[in-house]
Structure 1
């Protein structure tokens, strides 16, 4: 998730644009906001002509040449959009009080982010951490090797431990486990701990059809095969439709799997 603090430090004179209400089909939901300075933006309220109108209004406020404190915009053909709904916007210059409000809102949002745990920071682990960094997720990389925790995105949290499998039991419900260590035996130990959990949104392991068969045999010997555990494991991660083994490609495909699984988990939890 992109840090807002560098933007505010570089552009202290800016406008907070808030979506305060929506009706019908709209590109973003109530509570979404963006910041507009004279030259650049942080965030988006949905793009298109609708956002261009909001940016122009905010910059008029900054320039002292007018601008409205509120706008109610129908998202129809008159502005070249076909959503069909309406969006209400509020515009406020960022003062110390408004900046503190933004901080509280972002802190609350961060605390609610789904938690993703990447076990292993090899080539694919680093690529996946990079792919996930701008997304609304809290990402932690867990390693047994200190040197592998370098060169990760600044937003990524890290854990160094000799027994990564022991951390799985403490992952919050709805969390994500992706297993990408340098050691198949360690992969299997972590996977077994993850599959004992029935409340994870996603559990995946890097590998192949051969590794899946090997793990299935190992799991059966360990007493997990008869319980249908293997059906809860995505192995290989990233699917098989795109036959490209470059770390960055696997990472993008796995990121899509994770987001899909998190969406399905939210649907199950709310029903």
Structure 2
């Protein structure tokens, strides 16, 4: 479930003048099912989108959200999920702070901005003012029912644009909850053969904003690439004319030839994306590395390229290879861009 789908549904509810309750993980300590930034929304018809971790935590959160939605309230609450004083019956050993926000007309403009930033993979940080829950609410050591801070109505929110968004991680900071809206940019796949197509499907299903690129029109025909994936006919010799690769973007090179691989990787590495991988054998890897050195890149720069791309899981079929690459990219996203804060 992509966050943009939740935002769309919340906006639809507002258009229909139907209230909704947004629940998100605001902070975690120790082991927890989901990290800060996980969303779940409950609607007046009883339906829900998203997840804050499943299991007991989510069951409790869902019950709380229903009551808050009926009462027109918002709430900040902390649950332990391990040990003798567990509020959930789970044994993870940590704690999770949840924020339930009544979604009413006061949040419309913020949700519209959030949707635009998500769609464009732009920069911006969602901010909720938690001071409405009272002094000390964000640093309380209480948990369970005793930790609940409930207020009537919604929670003030805004979109802020700090100079260094990369330094901000989702979580509670002082009396505010901050969440980078789109920590990563686009994911460019160059080469839409068997592996490229399988990878596009896998990445799109795991929340990456995929742009499938090829220099062969027939490889970009409708039906070959998932409808949720953008398709671009490009010239591998000048990819900058078609794709604006930046420091928050992912790039995977899976073209049909060594020459085009070399062209794409050399140009992409110069753009310093957060992740750059190249498909191929050990021999092809050696070839591309040599070409990068010849192009003037340092050993340190060359070692930043994932070659061969993907985690070593003995993958063989295009679908298996796609899983290995996606796993490596998710690992990078979760460690470099979305690290869990304890």
More helix by share: 1
1:102 aligns with 2:111: yes
Q: 1:187 to 1:22 in 2, by over 3 A?
A: closer
Q: Report the aligned-residue RMSD.
A: 3.4
Aligned partners of 2:21 and 2:68 also within 8 Å? no
Q: 1:20 to 1:200 in 2, by over 3 A?
A: closer
- Unaligned stretches of 5+ residues in structure 2: 123-181
More strand by share: 2
For 2:246 and 2:273, locate their aligned partners in 1 and report how far apart those are by CA, in whole Å.
8
Structure-to-structure mapping, 1:45-194, within 5 angstroms = 45-60=52-67, 64=70, 69-76=74-81, 77-81=86-90, 82-92=92-102, 94-95=103-104, 97-98=106-107, 100-109=109-118, 110-111=121-122, 112-114=182-184, 115-149=186-220, 150-151=222-223, 152-163=225-236, 165-167=238-240, 170-194=244-268
Aligned partners of 2:26 and 2:98 also within 8 Å? yes
Measured against aligned partners, the alpha-carbon deviations of 1:71-124 in whole angstroms (never above 9, x if no partner) come to 5242232321344324142242x5555455433334334423422211011111
For 2:199 and 2:19, locate their aligned partners in 1 and report how far apart those are by CA, in whole Å.
33
TM-score (normalizing by structure 1): 0.78
- Unaligned stretches of 5+ residues in structure 1: none
Match of 1:33 among 23, 34, 39: 39
The offset of 1:58, in angstroms, is 3.1
TM-score (normalizing by structure 2): 0.64
For 2:78 and 2:297, locate their aligned partners in 1 and report how far apart those are by CA, in whole Å.
57
